Structure 1
């Protein structure tokens, strides 16, 4: 094998392949001569089943294929100067990478380890990569990273209700759901698709501003992108077989909520930042006629602030974890958010006036009556 390729094109592809294969995995280059020449780079993770493949712009002087350690070849290419690389698989073994007067030799992966990639489906549904990636990013902090926990909550659920596509995550204490009215996507995800948190991280980081084509089979989610030059790339993510918890009962409790508070999002986040100086955990929220009063204290001092807010309902106070509230607020772009508070203790929902379809639910702290003195 002997190919020529621009260093920048190779580095970008290797970075995405490395995210899939892992540092100890291999990337493979297939070079086929023809009109035009075809260069394909692919990687597979044996542990989680993810696959990545892409075509590369370049020229094939001699057809062939080679496997290389993903981390080694990526780190080498990343540190080389911009320019054309010559990559050659030598008859005596190994692969040489040459640019200008510099030459490097790398060992080849055993040919027996070359993976067989799954067959691509014929039908895909298109969506903005920006939009899809944003939906995944919103729910990502709410996917449990505790693989010893109930299996389903270590995944994000991609599903639908009617003509609405949704992504939901639940870590056992908090929930985030984001929705999009899209009949085609709703049809594609008519059957729930669960994506493990490790694979979700790779998938959302892979998204760009370009449109992405999605397809679902009984075992995998396929995401594909291509450009005008004909270069394409495909990320294949295995579906988790775990059962996702039923969240309808949790969300349904918000319909009977007693108290609603509309408040400026950025002002509330700034207040919580200052309250966090005097508490490593919770903040007391006191609902008053004209606004929301924040109180907290610990051995380092006490803090109290008041924010104007529109308050309706009869609940007088609730205690919330500061980090939980700030994470919830960061899911929104709206100038104002609405806190929907159920019974105490009970779920607290957060929505935004300019973020339709986005819902966060957090559980307040359960504090005995004699424990409120720390906030009062």
Structure 2
């Protein structure tokens, strides 16, 4: 096997391929990067046994073949080279790959070609074209509500499902937060099954990192989702989760008529105040108390051995709820995902869900957040949030 490549043609793809492979753990073949030659290109492939990446890049092929290399070692070596042509070829026994650029020469051991397993092909039927920026926005607005624990099924996956009115619901939950983003795309609506699809959080992170294109093609089978750059050069695929997703619509309907207290606040001012109060948060005291009146919001917090803080914001408020507490970091995280200049926070009670929406934009985006409980024997406490969502 022998071919030459230009660093600037392949380095971005190599780094995407390397990001798929396990960093330290896992079998050696999962930490490998496979390179297969075609007529005037090379195909780079990597997997972690579930997510698969393939990328096709220009090359001058002298001898065809297939080799497997340590993904991290090879990608780092190419990254540290100057731009220009890099020559790769294997020795006669095929057990060593020689990498050359000018007077520089390196030798890397190859993996047994018997380890290589064929990757899934992109299903050409019923493809959907999506804007890359929209796909990233969809992920950013929902994936923050997912847990990292892969065994916690409903709290570790994003759901895309069809609404009876022709909308597509994208939702995520983690037990104390729920994010819902709705949009319309008739082509995607037509290819989604009635059950929708469940995408694990790990795959969402890879999609977010990979999606640097203006447009992306999406296709799917019953068990797998495929994303391909519009030029066909790169593809990412991953398995779907197959468990039953919780009935979030019943939860939303149950509380729909109970949001009887309503606060409007400037988003930037609200975030800045919370950010300043976070200076006084500690591991054991990480909440903020919100005291509500018709025209003012009083934010207070205290931290053991670090002092306390109090700020007042102008708001518009109606309702009977006079105080409520939230985890400060979680509330700040939610605010960052809205584009609106002003936010509406709607309350059902001091221990019940709070609905957060934008006023001037974000009309199809909602976040539900659970408060922490306030007690009377101490200033306020941060008891574990009950999984009610």
Cα offset for 1:369?
A: 3.6
Cα offset for 1:268?
A: 0.4
Paired residue for 2:32, among 26, 32, 52?
26
Contact 1:163–1:187, Cα closer than 8 Å, also in 2: no
Paired residue for 1:206, among 187, 205, 210?
210
1:178 pairs with 2:149? no
CA 1:134–1:374: 2 relative to 1, 3 Å: closer
1:95 pairs with 2:97? yes
Contact 2:345–2:356, Cα closer than 8 Å, also in 1: yes
| Equivalent residue pairs, number | 366
Contact 1:160–1:187, Cα closer than 8 Å, also in 2: no
Contact 1:278–1:297, Cα closer than 8 Å, also in 2: yes
1:287 pairs with 2:292? yes
In 2, distance between residues paired with 1:136 and 1:110?
38
1:39 pairs with 2:46? no
- Please name the residue that 2:387 is paired with: none
Taking the TM superposition and a 5 Å limit, the aligned residue runs for 1:86-125 are 86-93=87-94, 94-123=96-125, 124-125=127-128
In 1, distance between residues paired with 2:10 and 2:3?
12
Paired residue for 2:156, among 130, 154, 157?
154
**For 2:263, what is the secondary structure of its paired residue?**
strand
**TM-score, scaled relative to structure 2:** 0.89
In 1, distance between residues paired with 2:100 and 2:345?
60
1:328-374 CA distances to partner (integer Å, 9 max, x unpaired)? 10111211111111122100111112112221111011123444478
1:366 pairs with 2:368? no
The runs of 5 or more residues in structure 2 that have no matched partner are 383-389
**TM-score, scaled relative to structure 1:** 0.92
In 2, distance between residues paired with 1:141 and 1:62?
47
1:259-295 CA distances to partner (integer Å, 9 max, x unpaired)? 1111011100111112222333111111111121112
In 2, distance between residues paired with 1:173 and 1:338?
19
**For 1:314, what is the secondary structure of its paired residue?**
coil
Cα offset for 1:254?
A: 4.0
In 2, distance between residues paired with 1:92 and 1:216?
40
Contact 1:136–1:167, Cα closer than 8 Å, also in 2: no
Contact 1:254–1:347, Cα closer than 8 Å, also in 2: no
